[in-house]
Chains A and B, each alone.
Chain A
Amino acid sequence: MKIVAVLPPSDQIPAQERLLQGMLKDHEIRIVTSGDALAPLIPEAEILVSTAFVPITGEMIRNAPRLRFLQVAGVGVDHIDMEAARAAGITVANVAAANAVSVAEHVVMVALAMTRDLCNAHTAMRAGQWSLPQWMSRARELAGLTVGIVGMGRIGREVARRLLPFGVTIVYYDVQPLDQATEDELGVTLLPLDDLLAAADIVTVHVPLNENTYHLFDATRFARMKPGAYFINAARAEIVDENALIEALKTRLGAAAIDVFSPEPPQPDHPLFSLPNVILTPHGAGVTVNAQQRIAQGAIQNVLRYLDGRPLADVVIAGTR
């Protein structure tokens, strides 16, 4: 079969290519690192391994008459035109839980970093300033704070498991509430979103991007948050109205930790970059070495399952081709 994999550019590409060719030696493997490189290969591709940074458009799908299986090497599928994939009868799968631990640890990291104002202290020290007075007036414990988790899927639950031992109260919002036994085990309580925003000292977002979550956080929602509260977005940029976030950071919020941008990478003069109370990371919350290995393993195993005619893991669309 003809297999095309779209991977992020890195110096690992030759090694990855050798590995894949060794594992799939009866098949034709091509690895590309851009949409431009992908385009000429699409018409012949039967299996496509896709990552989030190269969108799979409806046009591409319509140009791929032989494509039967689209394996996402990651969790999010919003870079794919799902309607087109569904219409074409293509099977789509992801690696659902692969980055949950990494994202959850990232949330713990930035929650601690924001409540201690870590980055400003670090920057000041590097500039030769002894910033203890500022530190003393800003540093807070996590213990006793209320954390609001918006979206209690796999990542949300891993966040809850890791934050609970810090002595926080955890409330959550999800369109699909947990069962009571799981709520009791995790120590989490469901609240309507607006009540959560009013109660939480830290709000962290873990919902998928879809038509219901686009700009879920707008000026109205930020206005409901506590003055001085902390906001974490390691989900998708479009869930947040960026202008409203910037305004809230200037007027209401204590700090924010932003991992996702639209577009990515953002322009160097992005207004968030000049704010003193923002911690910025390059869409890397879920992209630890461990998660990358887990994602690679999961994607390859699913491709092998597909080639072997066995049931697939983490099917998002069951295809008909």
Chain B
Amino acid sequence: MSGTVSAAVHQLLLEHDVRHVFGNPGSTELPFLIGLGTDIKYVLGLQESVVTAMADGYAQASGRPALVNLHTAPGLGNAAGALFTAQKNKTPLVVTAGQQDTRHLAWEPLLSGPLVEMAAPYVKWATQPTSPSDVPDAFARAFQIAGTPPTGPVFISIPINFWDAEAEAPPVRRVTAPGAAPPGALDRLARALAAAQNPAMVAGAGIDRAGAWDNAVALAEHLGLPVYEEPLAPRRGFPSGHPLFRGVLKPAVPMVSQDLAGYDLILVVGAPVFTYYPYYPGPQVPPGADIYLLTDDPADAARAPVKEAFVGDLGGALSYLVTHVAARPPTTFPSRASEVARRRSEAARGRDRMTPAYIFNTLAAKLPEDSIIVDESITASPTLRDYLPVHRPASYFTAASGALGWAMPAAVGIKLAQPERPVVAIVGDGSAMYSIQALWTAAQWQTPVLFIVLNNGQYAILKSYTQAFYPGTLSQVQGLNLPGLDLCGLAGAMGVAAERVSSPDALGPAFERGLAGGGPYLVEVMSDRTVPALF
């Protein structure tokens, strides 16, 4: 049966179990929205970076590609930062933007632009179909490409005049993703692991993305491997309360080398080797160890200066190793009870100033164990990862790109995908202002996200960087302070209940109110202004 392009795409979306489309519409989107029906909900965001980050969160938390509906060149331009983040996050997104009518595109009408060229650097595949009948097929390809490891965003530019043309929905295609690396190759790694005197594992976000937590834990326990978390992990690949967990690597060459010194074999799983931030001279990987990489991303494998990389399904490779390397006798590791004690003492020291340690320790006591943390606390992030351990998969998300403005909208998308789990977004005041409109969507959908804004009145990360790399110059640098922000006022203006916390005793009760559910809630914490030494 023949119908319109629009109807064919709607049908295909339902077949891909798409239930939400995230967008900010313009004229070019109207033909798609007409006839969308009610089985697919349109989640409106008030700026395109907000829209894209919401979809990113939704896709990661649901484990399926999400659909993003943008408007022409300006809309795609606004979304570019969030699209860059989705690429770094390896988030499967099908991003569309409306293009002007092909019949006068050559005259460069208002809002038209080189959409494919604009999107191309940030996506796995970008296309503008040359005829209407190619549009449904482009969607079918887009979902497959986005969702096949290494997952990532794809882009389709759709001229407005194509939607009402005739087309048929293409048949649903099934593609089986590649499996684990071949046994012959993995046997080399198994032999190296068996021969290693002092091996360690670095757990990356890819483990969480691949749903391979249990396999990673099984291998670590099987071999008694101490486990470190990759620097700046956008998701956490290993339970941070596990006795084998040894901490989070810092994003600088000398710090990684120091933490990993003494190991003769380092097995990196599901991570680039490694994500650094400031440049330091010297070898880019820890010297003196053989580094092996398990990844589902050929690009990460190609870039990493490792002894050998194995591309394929992580869970399969990890479980192969469990069955092909003899178990090592268990080793004793420091009790986790002393870790809890360390955090509690540090938190008590920071109580009066409301340091991140105090704030997160207070939050940890209130958080249900199945909570999801969406982190953009920047200078406070190392403390956050320490104080809010993850106990189960898909419990922590942050932007792999280092961009600001991702976490608040992403938290709204995550909550839409995981309505049963408590979701807490923790952001700085600087971060919040990049995507504050996310509160409006949260209010409209009544998504019970707890937004915690750590208001320290500054871009503390830049002050920390200045102190580390340009000592003595901080007083000369303009543009690092953020006076006069009233986050509660902004929340109230968009329909989100909010309160400001200025004294330590008020913090716990505020978190309890925010976690009570029923709708979004914002807690603005007037937090410690001390600039931490991070580098």
Sample of 6 A–B contacts (CB below 8 Å):
A169-B346, A171-B337, A171-B341, A186-B348, A187-B345, A199-B341
> Is residue A70 within 8 Å, beta carbon to beta carbon, of the partner chain?
no
> Is residue A170 within 8 Å, beta carbon to beta carbon, of the partner chain?
yes
User: A168's closest neighbor in chain B, by CB?
Assistant: B345
> Is residue B344 within 8 Å, beta carbon to beta carbon, of the partner chain?
yes
Using A164-B349, A187-B348 as known contacts, list a sample of 18 further A-B pairs with CB atoms less than 8 Å apart, ordered by residue number in A: A146-B338, A169-B338, A169-B345, A170-B341, A171-B337, A171-B341, A185-B348, A185-B351, A187-B344, A188-B348, A189-B337, A189-B341, A189-B344, A189-B345, A195-B337, A198-B335, A199-B334, A199-B335
User: A147's closest neighbor in chain B, by CB?
Assistant: B345
Contact partners of A168 in chain B: CB under 8 A: 345
Contact partners of B349 in chain A: CB under 8 A: 164-165, 167, 187
Closest chain A CB from B331 CB (angstroms): 15
Closest chain B CB from A172 CB (angstroms): 9
Interface mask (B473-497 → A, CB under 8 Å = 1, otherwise 0): 0000000000000000000000000
Chain A residues within 8 Å of B, Cβ to Cβ: 146, 164-165, 167-171, 183-189, 191, 195, 198-199
Q: Of the candidates B335, B342, B361, B365, which one forms a contact with A169 in the assembled complex, judged by CB atoms under 8 Å apart?
A: B342
User: Among residues 307 to 351 in chain B, which have CB atoms less than 8 Å away from a CB atom of chain A?
Assistant: 334-335, 337-338, 340-342, 344-349, 351
Interface mask (B265-298 → A, CB under 8 Å = 1, otherwise 0): 0000000000000000000000000000000000
Closest chain B CB from A109 CB (angstroms): 20
Contact partners of A199 in chain B: CB under 8 A: 334-335, 337-338, 341
| Cα distance A250–B334 in the bound complex, in angstroms | 26
Contact partners of A188 in chain B: CB under 8 A: 341, 344-345, 348
Contact partners of B345 in chain A: CB under 8 A: 164, 168-170, 187-189
Contact partners of A183 in chain B: CB under 8 A: 344
Q: Of the candidates A167, A169, A184, which one forms a contact with B341 in the assembled complex, judged by CB atoms under 8 Å apart?
A: A169
Closest chain B CB from A158 CB (angstroms): 15
User: Among residues 355 to 383 in chain B, which have CB atoms less than 8 Å away from a CB atom of chain A?
Assistant: 361, 365
User: A180's closest neighbor in chain B, by CB?
Assistant: B365
Residue among B335, B347, B348, B349 with max Cβ neighbours from chain A (10 Å): B348
User: A186's closest neighbor in chain B, by CB?
Assistant: B348
Q: Of the candidates B334, B335, B337, B348, which one forms a contact with A164 in the assembled complex, judged by CB atoms under 8 Å apart?
A: B348
| Cα distance A169–B337 in the bound complex, in angstroms | 11
Closest chain A CB from B247 CB (angstroms): 15
**What 3 pairs across the A-B complex have the smallest Cβ distances?**
A187-B348, A189-B341, A187-B345
Q: Of the candidates B335, B344, B351, which one forms a contact with A195 in the assembled complex, judged by CB atoms under 8 Å apart?
A: B335
| Cα distance A164–B346 in the bound complex, in angstroms | 8
Closest chain B CB from A200 CB (angstroms): 9
Interface mask (B36-71 → A, CB under 8 Å = 1, otherwise 0): 000000000000000000000000000000000000
| Cα distance A66–B365 in the bound complex, in angstroms | 57
| Cα distance A175–B223 in the bound complex, in angstroms | 39
| Cα distance A184–B345 in the bound complex, in angstroms | 8
Contact across chains for A184 and B337 when beta carbons are under 8 A apart: no
| Cα distance A199–B67 in the bound complex, in angstroms | 52
| Cα distance A185–B365 in the bound complex, in angstroms | 14
Contact partners of A184 in chain B: CB under 8 A: 344, 347-348, 361, 365
Contact across chains for A187 and B335 when beta carbons are under 8 A apart: no
Contact across chains for A171 and B351 when beta carbons are under 8 A apart: no
User: A199's closest neighbor in chain B, by CB?
Assistant: B338
| Cα distance A96–B319 in the bound complex, in angstroms | 62
User: A170's closest neighbor in chain B, by CB?
Assistant: B345
| Cα distance A191–B337 in the bound complex, in angstroms | 8
Closest chain B CB from A239 CB (angstroms): 23
| Cα distance A233–B101 in the bound complex, in angstroms | 87
| Cα distance A185–B351 in the bound complex, in angstroms | 8
Q: Of the candidates B334, B340, B351, B365, which one forms a contact with A189 in the assembled complex, judged by CB atoms under 8 Å apart?
A: B340
Contact across chains for A187 and B346 when beta carbons are under 8 A apart: yes
Contact partners of A198 in chain B: CB under 8 A: 335
